[in-house]
Structure 1
Amino acid sequence: MMEEVSHPVESGTLTPPPTAPPVVSSTSPPTQVGMTPPPQAPMSYSTSPPSSSYTPTSAPLQGSAYPSPMVQNPAPPTYPTSNYQGTPEASTIMLPDMPEYNTDQENRGDSGSAGGMWGWFRSASQNTFVQSVVEKTKTGVDRMITTLDPGMTPYLRQGGDISVIVASEKMVKWGAVRDAFQRVFGTANVKGIPAQSGVAPQPVGYAAGLRGARDRISYLRRSGLVDERQLCVAVESFIAELLPDKWFDIGCVMLEDPARNINLEMFTQAVPIPPEIVSHVQSATPSDYNLSWSGLSVTIGQAFQHHMPWVQPTDWHKTLTGQSRQTIIYDAVVTLAGLYQEKLPKTTPGRPI
């Protein structure tokens, strides 16, 4: 039987009863001061997070076996699982639905909503308003070019449905006919071919002038240089005594169109000739000249060259009047071409409606 031991209590001081020593887990042996802990086996660490209330939202940092709760990277996106095995073939790529394009209708240029660009151009080209705009644009461009270089006018107006053969290779004649027809019809094909006449070099009188122009056109047809139905124009200059002892130089312009049965004659303005020039050509022609019925053997131009060497024999008109011979012929052919245009059938291209 154990004896009870009483402990004295000092006044004012309470002494707590002794408590049991703390229980230490076997996994953590106590370490006493001055004692060396026994060797322990190497520690192995698991990559799984320790059981605690904290759950990391990202994988541990590279090179560290411990997850760091201080680094919180956003979670990587998740993708739905599929049976994707690689890049699909080109034929299996699905594109959005597109409207079908009818290439056959496009090539045909059919009208309608699927006619395409070419169909629009074709329909627009048949529109009178569009044609008028295109024609005005072309006219404006041509006018600008001819203003900068007037010599380009004949080249821009070459073409069309009117074809004219002039019975002369001289620029003063066929050039005047070309410019006049292109002015009246807009465009015209004009060509000069040399031709001969059966009258004297210097015809005298209207009858001789008409005969000389007709002979030149007949020469082209007989020689086969032009077709029998070809439109031809000839120019023949002559002198005539319109007033007593006053002579004038006149040009006869003749047009023949057998295909449409149109024959026209026109005369240029009369240019006065000095009396001494006329006396020279009359005295220089032999009395037995075989073509005296139609005129003289010496031309007015040759007489001008004899009396006035500074005057050009082929264009003495410009020296006397200030107007060149080509301009004088041109004015007459413009009137002739206008008369010819009025006589054409209404269905003929180039005729005004």
Structure 2
Amino acid sequence: MAPAGPSSPSMLPLSSGPSPIPSPVPTTQVPPAPSTSVVPPQATATGTATPPKGPTLAPVTSQPQLSIVPTVDASVELGKSHSQAGSGNPSWFGWIRGTVSSVSHKVAEKAKNSMDSMITTLDPQMKEYICVLPPDSGGDVDLVVASDKEVKVGAVREAFQAVFGKATVSGMSSEATSVAAQPVGFASALTAGEERINSLRSGGRVHPQQPVVAVENFIVELTPGFWYDMGLLLIDDPGQDILLQTYTQVTPIPAEYVTQARASTPEDYPLKSSGFATTIGEVASQVLQVHHSQWQETVCGVPRREMVTLAARVLASLYKAQLPQSF
């Protein structure tokens, strides 16, 4: 054997293979806790022995243990609190029900009013069984229209609610018995409107201080040979001592319509001095083949309701200016 030379750094051989895996570091075993008594294994009916009961030691590892804390959904808790405060049902449905309750109520109320209005329009007799409160009802203004026709009542309601913001407007049927079916001239129209109002008051159908509006259409010969249809709007408020009137725009009437209405009026017609027995609407509906309430729109392009609405807004503005400042 050759003698050992001087010490020199050892050269490690190069290798392309994987590095050797180091041996695992032995873990330190924790000795079990001392026990004062040893419980022997108990035999079971099958002959096998059960291990003795004692404290179980968790294995020691080098990785920390992650503790998982259960989380609570905030939306579930919010729904639970709302539902418990309301109906006592701990579910998120209670929170949804409480949130949309006011919106649902408004939608349902509007749908009910729309349905009631449609029913009473198709069958006016249902007004005795259904109480219809249109939108924007209420406020300090409460009016009665001396008619049950929607073209009049709806137009007056729309106009007064536009001027006052809120107004309660209802309609009651009323007739003028001392004026012809087709009033002719301003005087006949004014007499018919006043009679409609007085009919409601004398019959006790409205309060003595109740403001009442009358709408009366009539024809007039403004210039020789030129006839026009127009409407009178009259409001009577005894409580505030207010009496106002205004008129709608005029609708030209073909001369042959007036001639036919005059010819169809009997000579012994008791109300002949105030007008004709046949209305211009009846004559126009036969000639134009339209409903008697639509002949104005066919002739001049403007519906009658629009004419009444515009005139009613003028009347409402004049009426508001006469009221005390508290209104």
Instruction: Establish whether residue 208 from structure 1 lines up as the match of residue 180 from structure 2.
Output: no
1:295-346: CA deviation from partner (whole Å, max 9, x where unpaired): 11110011113323x2211221111122211111111001101111111111
Pair 1:182 & 2:161 matched? yes
The aligned residue for residue 301 of structure 2 is: 322
**Is the 8 Å Cα contact of residues 285 and 295 (structure 2) preserved in structure 1?**
no
Match of 1:333, SS state, is helix
Match for residue 271 of structure 2 among 291, 295, 305: 291
Q: SS of the residue aligned with 1:174? A: helix
C-alpha contact 2:153 2:169 (8 A) present in aligned 1: yes
Separation of aligned partners in 1, 2:269 and 2:174: 22
Picking from 144, 147, 171, the partner of 1:165 is 144
For 1:273 and 1:194, locate their aligned partners in 2 and report how far apart those are by CA, in whole Å. 27
Q: Secondary structure at the match of 1:314?
A: coil
Equivalent residues in 2 for 1:239-254 (5 A)? 239-254=219-234
1:222 to 177, 202, 227: 202
- Aligned to 2:314, which of 332, 335, 347? 335
Amino acid in the other structure paired with 1:281: A
1:21-69 superposed Cα distances (whole Å, 9 cap, x missing partner): xxxxxxxxxxxxxxxxxxxxxxxxxxxxxxxxxxxx96657459xxxxx
Partner of 2:238: 258
Residue 156, structure 1, aligned to residue 135, structure 2? yes
2:291 to 286, 309, 312: 312
Count the aligned residue pairs. 218
Distance in 2, Cα, partners of 1:249 & 1:330 = 16
CA distance in 2, matches of 1:321, 1:315: 10
Which secondary structure state, in structure 2, belongs to the residue aligned with residue 248 of structure 1? Answer: strand
**In 2, distance between residues paired with 1:283 and 1:240?**
17
- Please state how far the C-alpha of 1:260 moved relative to its aligned partner: 0.5
Instruction: Report the 3-state secondary structure (helix = DSSP H, G, I; strand = E; otherwise coil) of the residue aligned with 2:240.
Output: coil
Aligned-partner SS, 2:272: coil
What is the deviation of 1:161?
A: 2.3
1:345 to 295, 319, 324: 324
Task: Give the Cα–Cα distance (whole angstroms) in 2 for the partners of residues 327 and 62 of structure 1.
Answer: 106
Q: Distance in 2 between matches of 1:208 and 1:241?
A: 13
Distance 1:173 1:155 in 2: 15
Greater CA drift, 256-265 or 288-297: 288-297
Alignment of 1:269-288 (within 5 A): 269-288=249-268
- 1:115 is matched with none
Structure 1 partner of 2:283: 303
1:234 partner SS: strand
Task: Look up the equivalent residue of 2:200 and give its one-letter code.
Answer: L
CA distance in structure 1 between the aligned counterparts of 2:142 and 2:325, rounded to whole angstroms = 18
State the match for 1:82 in structure 2. Answer: none
> In structure 1, what is the Cα distance between the partners aligned to 2:179 and 2:264?
17
Q: Kindly report the root-mean-square deviation, in angstroms, between the aligned alpha carbons of the 2 structures.
A: 3.1
In 1, Cα distance between equivalents of 2:39 and 2:276:
127
Instruction: Report the 3-state secondary structure (helix = DSSP H, G, I; strand = E; otherwise coil) of the residue aligned with 1:235.
Output: strand
Deviations 1:274-315 (A, max 9, x none): 11111111111123322122111110011113323x221122
1:53 alignment partner in structure 2:
none
- 1:264 is paired with a residue whose SS is strand
Cα shift readout 1:127-150 (whole Å, capped 9, x = no counterpart): xxxxxxxxxxx9xx99xx89xx9x
- Scaled by the length of structure 2, the TM-score of the pair is 0.60
Q: One-letter code of the match for 1:266?
A: T
| TM-score, normalised by the number of residues in structure 1 | 0.56
Runs of 4+ in 1 over 3 A off after TM superposition: 57-64
The corresponding residue for 1:94 is none
